[in-house]
Structure 1
């Protein structure tokens, strides 16, 4: 009997690979937890592979082929499913973000990516890679702005961002760029498309001073939390870890300015930046 065919990279390869994984697992008579134990991962991780929320890497693909008796099918096809326009450390989180129903993010230093304008994103990407050719920078900017299109839907996903005052006061790209990006954020808030709170300097110490947090919830997969550093990122599905950082986020929301006061501050700062551009 002929073995499974290669997946077509043009037709959502990750979803196809997930469907094949579910089929092979059920054919082998294994639950998600049982298969996860054999790979030394959680059952929820297997579920996320099956729904396409998580990407399959070669290490797990080889183990799946052995455990499920699928020859080299998963190893052969995981490359197509792993192709991404995003930096390697962020690719899995960006792709999970696109399928999330709720996103909660604390941003200590930058306007969150989903709220950025092209000019602001360009200034950030150029700061990250000061010697990169313009073409490479524009590819990164295009990928970042494409992410923002998930907000084109009037209701989903829910995006709730807590932005540190430092991100608003760091003049990234110049006053004109800051005026534009803050006005863009104001527009999203006034259209009731996003919830934004500002963590003011006067709030003092808080439990997320060491870095950013992004929590993502899904209809058909367990929640995830994403941590990011300089050139690194980690996506975590451990229920205890997710629960701990959800509590942290709730505490941050309690310490931050109310949505109404946050909007007033962002509007005032946008106007201040705009006035700086006047001769």
Structure 2
């Protein structure tokens, strides 16, 4: 029997040759005094998806009886208002019918591996070697002591789990975008949105947009007319027609920003009204429109 150990994820994988060996491995609950949970590896030919906003107290048997899907459903269980489905194909359907209602199938998105103890990536808290590390400031101190937020990943003045929220937003936008988007462009948009929301300049800008001040100090100055150094022409002289200003070259960034805004608008229209990502898309669009008006 081959055994593989993944220290970063705190997982031990064992290859069994017979069904009896698999049954014996699944019955293990403790290894060397450490409690463990044994699970059978999910077939790569299957896929896991979710149904959100499902009300009622439905049992697993009622779910299986009320589900109608073009792709066979292997496992279905409900936790709260979310139903977890495992289909017998790597290509799940777009919609399924549950008790006569058509519901949209949401694909499972792999989360980035991050330690919930020290805040660093590529390992879990069970395999973390930094005992007593604080995810809020990145240093080791007693949990009761106050600390100043500081990210160990980027050095910013925020907790280390804030970046995980940004990565989650980036992965969500990439998964739900109707067109192919660049990860760097989406990540830059999410980071810019966070800076716009939490910056002092954004607060001042929002205040000026909501309540325009009549104070001449706060108003944008009007440029004075330029003085002409050319001699004045007589009225009889025919004035030449003004030259057509040369059209500036197009900036390739404008096309990228336009495509990104179109994707955000499409995602916002496709999401339900109470979905949290709809507010994210509308905030990003509103921030860009506000900056365009100011410019």
Range class of TM-score, shorter chain: under 0.3
Decide which structure has greater helix share.
1
